[in-house]
Amino acid sequence: MGSSGQEPGQLDQFLYTGCDLYVEDLTRYRRNGFHPIILGDILSKPGACVGNLEREPRYRVLLKLGYGAFGTVWLARDLVNSRYVSLKICTGTDIPNLGREATILSKLHGAREEKLGRERIIQLLDVFTIKGPNGFHECLVTEVIAPLSEPDIMRLCSLEAVYQILEGFAFLHGEGIAHGDPHLGNFGIALPQLEKFDENDIAEYFANPEIIPVIPRDALFPLRSLPQYVTPSASIASFLKSKKALPAEPSMSIKIFDFGRAHETNEKIDALPGGVPLMVRPPEVVVFDRSEGKIGSTWSTSADIWAIGCIIYKIKSGADLVSTSGSLSDFLLRAVQLGGPPPDTWPDIQSPDNGHANGDPPKSLPSRDETWNRHEASRHSSWDFQEKRDSFIDLVKKMVVTKPYERSTAAEMLRHPVFCGRDRRDSRGLA
């Protein structure tokens, strides 16, 4: 049971939680939280679509693909166009409105098709809002994506994937948008190969999914707020791998998605919903949060760049660039050692064992080059390629810079020597 003074946890409120599985927090099924969905549901249900009560049910839910701060994501079958889609059901609101993500995606897809990098943004196919027991929920229908966080997908990534990520962010930033939440789980690859298989193939592979019944301990708990059961997230990549149908590396198309924290660069941002994983969080954002906004800065396109540098390093080396072990101060120290001296307005950043703990004068910190040399000496054996290793490290170092205004832009990085010899044709065959 939860300790006094704390909000009750899952075990306080539910008999079964699926805590040892990849299952969402059941306490999120509440007012302005998740919308209750079970396999086989067809959305939108009759009379539930805001602004179009006559809308026919269209998207049949087949599998759960994942969940996050902003909603749950499902594999669905579009019964009108006979294709597979990804259906994101956003967390509830008190009034129906066009949310941040749909607004940003609509703006981006309004850009000219010939703009390089536009095809790296996930394709938005449909948007509608439903009314449910937990509020009004915006539903985003997109193409199906396998995230790079899946090992089978990350193993496919070459320098071409790195180029495509930068290409997408060059487009995004050129349109005046900061993503706000770049991490491996929000980049992925398109899966057109899925259309080769029918629903029976998918049902056979994922037969007898694990079911966790949702049973509240409180007999008066509002059952309408809850699904009858929840299931672990399924991997479409594993299904395609079993069918030897994963995209071949030359035809792989990177997609950027999950724009729940995205914002226009001319928009004043004090705080954003959710949070970015610490291992890719830039130092100015960490400092801003720790100082309650007195120093540092909020998320920006430059913050995107730091995060991308950390991500592409992980893609190619298999290891996190900045370790998150130890305290937040330890993390910040490691980040600044890799990124170079901080702005003069920041306080001294020293580790607890660097002389401060016993009142001695702090020892001098290693130079940035020393830090990188030591760092890479310890990681040398984990690299999956060697030919362009030094050039690739130079690419990362131009992005992972402590002072945000000294970071290279995504557009500049597309011209980096590491990409010399690349076939200068985009996924549509344009030169």
Q: Is residue 402 in some structural domain?
A: no
In a domain, 379, yes or no: no
Report yes or no on 409 lying in a domain. Answer: no
Q: Is residue 110 part of a domain?
A: yes
Q: Would 398 be classed as within a structural domain?
A: no
Helix (H) or strand (E) holding 166: helix 159-174
Q: Report the number of distinct structural domains present in the chain.
A: 1
Domain with 241, as residue range(s), is 12-154+190-247
DSSP structure string for 261-290: T-EETTS--S--SS---GGG--HHHHHHHH
How far apart (Å, rounded) are the C-alpha atoms in residues 351 and 94? 46
- Asked if residue 299 belongs to a domain, the reply is no
Within a domain: residue 261?
Answer: no
Residue 52 pLDDT exceeds 70: yes
Q: Supply the pLDDT for residue 386.
A: 65
Amino acid identity of residue 344, one-letter, is: D
Confidence band for 399, pLDDT divided at 50, 70 and 90: very high
pLDDT at position 159: 92
**pLDDT number for residue 217:** 95
Give the domain CATH number at 46.
3.30.200.20
Q: Is residue 83 within 8 Å of 216, Cβ to Cβ? A: no
Work out the mean pLDDT of the chain and round it to a whole number.
89
**8: number of Cβ within 10 Å:** 13
Q: With 60 as the cut, is the pLDDT of residue 383 above it? A: no
- Does residue 143 lie in a domain region? yes
**Residue 375, pLDDT score:** 80
